[in-house]
Amino acid sequence: MAAGYRLAGDVLDHVCCRQMYGPDRLPAVWPATDHAVVIAVGRHDESAEDVYTALLDALDRDVPTDEREKPPCCDDEGLPPADEEIATSISEAIEHRTRERRRAR
């Protein structure tokens, strides 16, 4: 298994997350089945800096209304949801959000 679970929702279903210690999460995207990009490491604590809030903000998305079942990251063949275009767009959105927040300080 590449990572713990996938997020729900359009585009977000290409993000896999690994639960770390306590509330810490590590979301990653997959440009290829053999290449992961860690897009953030942070707390999932419903604060302003929550790692999922940051992801949704960067992608200009609302919290998905899909039931949160936390499906496995990998499919039945053990492969992650690889998509180079989506992985790049998510990575760039996170990077852009990070730069904007640094400038605002």
Task: Name the band, by pLDDT with cuts 50, 70 and 90, for residue 2.
Answer: low
In this structure, what token pair is assigned to residue 100?
């904007």
Angle at 42 between CA 101 and CA 100, to 5 degrees: 10
| pLDDT of 101 | 78
Whether the predicted pLDDT of 100 surpasses 90: no
| Rounded-to-integer distance, Cα 42 and Cα 49, Å | 8
In this structure, what token pair is assigned to residue 4?
């713990």
Instruction: Give 79 or 63, the one with higher predicted confidence.
Output: 79
pLDDT in tens, 35-48: 999 999 988 887 76
In this prediction, what percent of the chain has a pLDDT beyond 90? 49
Q: Mean pLDDT score of the chain, rounded to an integer?
A: 88
